């Protein structure tokens, strides 16, 4: 199943670096992203990528709402792939999802990176170090 997306005429897009709303500059070539399957058929989303010309940052490709930058999968597909990956190993997930092992692993790596980015750093206020008679060093 193939789905083509287009934007309405005259819509303003944000610069991906500063967020300033800008008019369309041009489109890059069409890209495609794997989406959730429909009736056991692979579904692909197609779109020509809009670009804007920012006075501060030059010509930039606009980020799309349905996929992370650089990903070949929609956010919905990646979320489902992570759910599957939590129930099986990478080889099993790739077989169920009809992906290569590298594609399944890439989805897992991006999920871990997102999780680590959201995690707040642990700051220790106090730390105690003790040495026992046997020479063992313990920290608390």
State the pLDDT at residue 137: 66
Domains in the chain: boundaries: 1-65, 67-115
Q: Give percent of the chain with pLDDT exceeding 90.
A: 78
Q: Is the predicted pLDDT of residue 133 greater than 90, yes or no?
A: no
pLDDT of the residue at 100 = 97
Measured CA distances, 136 to 29, 106, 126, 139 (Å)? 63, 42, 20, 10
| 67-126 pLDDT tens trace | 998 899 999 999 999 999 999 999 999 999 999 999 999 999 999 999 999 988 777 777
């Amino acid at each position: 199943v193939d789905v083509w997306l287009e934007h309405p005429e005259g819509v303003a897009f944000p610069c991906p670096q500063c967020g300033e709303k800008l008019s369309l500059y041009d489109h890059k070539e069409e890209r495609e992203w794997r989406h959730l399957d429909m009736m056991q058929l692979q579904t692909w989303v197609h779109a020509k990528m809009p670009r804007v010309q920012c006075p501060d940052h030059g010509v930039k490709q606009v980020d799309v709402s349905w996929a992370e930058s650089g990903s070949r999968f929609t956010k919905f597909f990646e979320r489902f792939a992570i759910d599957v990956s939590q129930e099986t190993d990478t080889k099993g997930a790739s077989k169920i999802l009809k992906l290569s092992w590298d594609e399944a692993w890439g989805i897992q790596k991006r999920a871990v990176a997102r999780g680590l980015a959201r995690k707040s750093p642990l700051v220790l206020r106090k730390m105690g170090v003790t040495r026992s008679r046997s020479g063992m060093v313990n920290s608390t």
